[in-house]
A = this chain, B = another copy of it.
Amino acid sequence: MKFIDYDRVALTDGFWKEVRSRNAAVSLKNVYRRFAETGRFSAVACVRREDPPHIFYDSDVAKWLEAAAYLQKDYPDAEIRAIIDETVDTIARSQLACGYFNSYYQVYKPDKIFTERTEHELYCAGHLIEAAVALDACGVNGKLLAVMKKYAEYIYDRFYVKRDTGFTTCGHPEIELALVRLYTHTGERKWLTLAQFFIDERGKRAEEIYPTVDRTYDQSHKPVREQTEAVGHAVRALYLYIAMADVGRLTGDDTLVQVCETLFQDIVNKKMYITGGTGSSNVGERFTIAYDLPNQTAYSETCSAIALAFFAERMARIGNKAAYHAVVERVLYNNVLAGESLDGKGFFYTNPLEMHAAFARYARTLPDAPYQPIPERVEVFGCSCCPPNLIRLFAQIGGFAYGEEDGVLYVHQYISSRVSACGCELSVQSEMPFSGKATIGVKGSGRIALRIPVWQSAVSCAVNGAFCVPETRDDYMYFSVEGETCISLDFEMKPRFVYANEKVWADAGRKAVEYGPLVLCAESADNGGDLASVEIPSPDHAEIGAEGGFCVKIPARRLKSDGALYSYLPPAREAFTLVLRPYYTWANRGENDMQVWFL
């Protein structure tokens, strides 16, 4: 399946257009301001300062540049453009003669370049390569591409030709997928060769262990083709798997492709939160074991969710299945959107599925408190990988919507937009995620395939006003169109209970409520406390409301004990109306209890 690039997809109106506009108007600028204030942008000048930059500051800047690149066409901004150009010029000026560029190593540890297997040396290079490709592809700035190609040549020479470096693979995968992008953009085969080299070498050297932790942490515990379970740091893992999927596809390496499928299934069938979150443990931000999905301490890093969306997209490229897009949908509408506040300014690094505000307050009072994800979004973190990652994702969100294969134009995600492909001009008007109604206008002749979401409880479909039972195969509806066609879809959307596998001990005996692609949650701002003790007898009799934004009001009961800590008397059940809201909107009204799984 070939995806249609985000820049060929014109968002028209509706949900994602709003997200992307906010992204351009607020988030891009706000993140720049906070990154500038915290010295991330000035760091690329490579001037020694008293407060050395973090080793991964280059990647923060790079992701911001990438996001800015994607937004320039639709949201041109001279100020942003000037920042881009100035930053690129600074990087170009700071680059060493050999091609090397890293604002930390070349200033603070020049003698250690490519000698320590640190986490982020090639990782930073990878993000800068991605930024360079994006800036060039968008016609915003071609200079960084030249800079980064020179750097990539140096990496190629040292790691692949001379092999005289102190380590072989980077502690944090990213360079691999970036090199694939460089290959795809330039057509220069050596970048694919180098990406493949890094992938092939991973896990082959017992001595290459990320300091102080184990080899599963960065997926170096065994050669990648022998890996069958998603392990270690979730973002590292997923960035690696993305590159493995790319290299597998581009080199026709079926073994690698099969490994990717195995890893993907391991994640989505055993290690993924209902929100699409992965990496359940704060310790090492990692995948743990199958079905270990604690809600209160869920780490579920925003970057990891973003990476899972891309991994699913890469799997669809290899061999399309509706299930991959269902994962993309789950991730985007839940964990990913939750990563940003509704005003576009605040960000979550971690995304728990249960919050006890009193515990969060307690955790803040102690230097050695038990782990608790933060209860409110903040504008910048010390380790601020997630904010610019979100911005660059939202900036290219249209890229998840469409694909083409064998002359058929596929609609994977219902995002209000226009696109031209396979001889058709398609215009999608979608009410997602709050209603399952969508109108697809087509001009031209061809074949159209529309994905049937997993959450629909019924589909009604009309072509040019006439009821229609379309040809359906593998969760796509196929239509042959000619001239002007209007396809009206209505995927029935209603609150549905979702049950976790009985092996997920944290959710046993509980259910979540989904509404279309949205996982719903309850907050104490609407419902008072003790949300873990709320019982929802049935998903029926729910009402849709709009007070304070979209909400679902559903009859529920609150357990109420006799007040003792332990009692032989079963708790009473007090009926009340529970207000549920989309998970992604939580924590926008101050510190708050929150619950996803109910009795």
Contact = CB atoms under 8 A, between A and B. Distances in A.
Contacts of A268: 565
A483 interface: no
A272 interface: yes
Contacts of A560: 502
B565 A272 contact: yes
A502 B558 contact: yes
Contacts of A369: 283-284
A197 interface: no
Contacts of A214: 365-368
A564 B370 CA distance: 32
A508 B533 contact: yes
Given A214-B366, A284-B366, A501 B558 contact: no
A368 B268 CA distance: 24
A289 interface: yes
Given A358-B289, A559-B508, A502 B571 contact: yes
Contacts of A362: 288-289, 292
A356 interface: yes
A: interface residue count bin: 35 or more
A549 interface: no
Contact of A509 (B365, B370, B512, B599): B599
A569 interface: yes
B509 A530 contact: no
Interface stretch (A77-85, A138-146, A441-449, A492-500): A492-500
A510 interface: yes
A358 B567 CA distance: 32
Interface string A558-577: 11110111111111000000
Contacts of A213: 366-368
13 contacts: A214-B366, A282-B370, A288-B370, A289-B358, A289-B359, A292-B356, A501-B564, A502-B560, A502-B561, A505-B530, A508-B530, A509-B533, A509-B535
Going nearest first, the 6 A-B pairs with the smallest beta carbon separation are: A505-B532, A502-B533, A509-B599, A508-B532, A508-B533, A281-B370
Given A274-B566, A501-B563, 6 more contacts: A272-B565, A296-B505, A501-B565, A503-B529, A503-B530, A509-B509
